[in-house]
Structure 1
Amino acid sequence: MSRRRIGRESFGFGGAERRHSSLDDLAKLIDWASVDQWLADISCAAKGEPAWPPVALFKALLLAVWYDLSDVKLAEALDDRASFRRFCGFSGADPTPERTAFVRFRKALTTRGLDEALFDGVTAQLKGKAIRVKTGTLVDATIIASASKGDDEARWVKHKRKPAVHGFKAHVGADADTALVEEIAVAPANVHDGKAGGDALPDDPGHVFADSAYRGEMFRAAVRAKGGTPRIVTTHMWGRDEEETQAKLDAWNQPIHRIRGRIEKVFGTWKRSYGLRRIRWLGLAKASLQIRLTAIAYNMRRTLSILAVAA
């Protein structure tokens, strides 16, 4: 397999002094050699050309998430911005990938089902740096509109008084203290939370905080099977009168709401800052890739913030 060699020349950008970027700190968070091993079998070169190093392309996809860039804008920015080049490993004189390289690379990732392995591997490294004691897990789901209503792997769903949405649902398990995303399960939007939520549970989740959509026995059994304790919002309790019953409900639900609400900030960051308002490509496999790339990018930024506070 023929691959291009990059980063061999010194970084020189018009003689200007190198400016520090947060991307330089993000690059130091991960052992990229292990990521390179997971991607070792990928060659997504155009016919007759040497392949771009896959770890450089993977880093470029993270840049696309952080800066909400299309493939065209990503290729332009990578060619132009010194901090982007450094993060991906390109020297100032190296050529950079064209947009079609990112298309071929995503196709290779989805064909091999590597999105889950990449998420698990990178997240394990980040958890080792940021999570000291595991006390609990936040579980919730967010609906993401499909790229097209013609996507036959997406489904329609309507929630309360909101308009119906055609898309997918990301079920997420996040650490209750750090808000790092630990597990993800992606399904069509009409799959019930209680049915898919068990796939978003990490091992030994501790207390599991979830809203009333997860109150069925299927999810509770999944929590117990993982060694956790369900802490799920309930909608009814027995009491001698209405006042006593409401007081018991409030005493149980309010602490759960207070802790569980932290996961809404995760979804807000994904959608407002990282472009996950809509899936970019068709099909469940590509939707899963986009969601997990977004989660990796979020976890890296979140870990950097946690470590900065701890320093």
Structure 2
Amino acid sequence: MKQMSLAHTGFELVTKRTRKREFLEEINLVIPWTELLALIAPHVPEGKTGRPPFPTQVMLRIHLLQQFFGHSDPTMEEALHDIPLYREFAHLDAGISRLPDESTILRFRHLLQEHGLGQQILASVNAKLIDRGLMLKTGTVVDATLIAAPSSTKNDSGERDPEMHQTKKGNQWHFGMKAHIGVDADSGLVHTVPTTAANAHNITQAHALLHGEEEVVFADSGYRGVHKREEIQDQHPEVDWLIAMTPSERKVMDKSKLVNALREQLEKLKASIRAKVEHPFRVIKCQFGYRKVRYRGLAKNTNQLLVMFAMSNLWMARKRMVQGLQA
């Protein structure tokens, strides 16, 4: 019989700490596992026949691995077989006789979507951040980003996703969806995430991006005239909107005049605050690699985005959270 290699016994000689391992160890420390599992547990069906189900924590950890590294359900199944680090993070013991297959992974994702648990996960994470004083909720920055969807019609239905649309940005056409977010003006952490087709104007979702407790909202020039909209006047009449000037207006402004010089300084100050809304987009697009939608329809992709922005909040606040745990 062939002798077992030391590489598979837990006595590995290679000790290099990779960036992927460091990332998983850091994010594992700040995820509120107890609260998230309590949200999911009431909706998990009891397996009375057949093989025993995998623990909810295992499936949640696998689902989060998908969001961190951009794996589809089949790819995630293969990665669990190929990558020991993933099995370690998912709490799958080395001696386990079977691993979750792609159907099991898919059913857990559908469970989260059917019960609206993505929204609850984001709310639970934010409640933890608020308790630790990491979100002040006195100001909000709003913005949106385009997320591409497959435009090909070479599929079973012979058509593009009917819930996705095309829009023109600059001189380039884009097909897909649009993720709108409202972030805390102090910390840059996301508190609200509605989605629309790509052709929806940013201003149409402005009212849905506010949590109701902010006193001031920062936005780019695409939100000009937002304070005149009926839904804003009805739901958020007391909010002070600080909208950026258009680049063309700033370009022709005579900055040699004192009043215009002060206006220019004000624009720079507003821009420095508005820049915080780009940080969550950077995390999900660059850190998590989410540049294209993975599913058909807005509902599935919205649920995924809610979970990803919850994790991006924890990633952005991880150092302050770890310091709080060590204090």
Give per-residue Cα distances to partners, 1:199-228, cap 9 Å, x unaligned.
122342243111111222239936972864
Taking the aligned partners of 2:117 and 2:99, their CA distance within structure 1 comes to 23
Q: After TM superposition, list the pairs within 5 Å mapping 1:121-270 onto structure 2.
A: 121-129=124-132, 131=134, 133-148=136-151, 150-161=160-171, 163-215=172-224, 216=226, 217-218=228-229, 221=232, 225=236, 228-235=239-246, 243=254, 247=261, 249-270=263-284
Q: Structure 1 residue aligned with 2:105, among 80, 84, 102?
A: 102
Counterpart secondary structure, 1:262: helix
Q: Is residue 291 of structure 1 aligned with residue 305 of structure 2? A: yes
| Change in CA separation of 1:223 and 1:253 when aligned onto 2, cut-off 3 Å | farther
- Paired position in structure 1 for 2:11: 15
Residues 166 and 121 of structure 1, relative CA distance in 2, 3 Å threshold: same
Q: Which amino acid aligns with 1:197?
A: A
CA distance in 2 between partners of 1:189 and 1:165 (Å) = 8
Identify the range of structure 1 (107-116 vs 169-178) with the bigger mean alpha-carbon deviation.
Answer: 107-116
Bigger CA drift: 51-60 or 191-200? 51-60
Which amino acid in the other structure matches residue 113 of structure 1?
G
**Counterpart of 2:38?**
37
In the alignment, does 2:294 pair up with 1:276?
no
* CA distance 1:21–1:252, change in 2 (3 Å): closer
Alpha-carbon distance, 1:285 to partner? 0.5
Mapped to 2, the partners of 1:173 and 1:148 lie a distance apart of 28
Q: What letter corresponds to residue 233 of structure 1 in structure 2?
A: A
Deviation of the 1:247 alpha carbon: 4.7
In structure 2, relative to structure 1, the CA distance for the partners of 1:21 and 1:233 (3 Å cut) is closer
Q: Secondary structure at the match of 1:256?
A: helix
TM-score by length of 2: 0.77
**Is the contact between residue 136 and residue 186 of structure 2 (CA under 8 Å) also seen in structure 1?**
no
Residue number among 99, 116, 120 corresponding to 1:117 in the alignment: 120
* CA–CA separation in structure 2 for the residues paired with 1:226 and 1:13: 64
Mapped contact 1:144–1:168 kept (Cα < 8 A): yes
1:279 Cα deviation after fit: 0.2
- Identity of paired residues, percent? 27
Normalised by the length of structure 1, the TM-score is 0.81
Cα distance, 1:73 vs structure 2: 3.2
Off by >6 Å, runs of 4+ in structure 1: 17-20
Local SS of the residue matching 1:141: strand
Unpaired runs of at least 5, structure 2: 1-7, 153-159
1:152 shift after superposition? 0.2
Structure with greater Cα Rg: 2
SS state at 1:278 partner: coil
Q: Is the 8 A contact 1:52 1:97 kept in 2?
A: yes
Structure 2 SS opposite 1:121: helix
- Corresponding letter in the other structure for 1:14: G
Question: Which residue number in structure 1 is paired with residue 4 of structure 2?
Answer: none
1:78 Cα deviation after fit: 2.9
Aligned length, in residue pairs: 295
Give the Cα separation in 2 of the matches to 1:60 and 1:87: 8
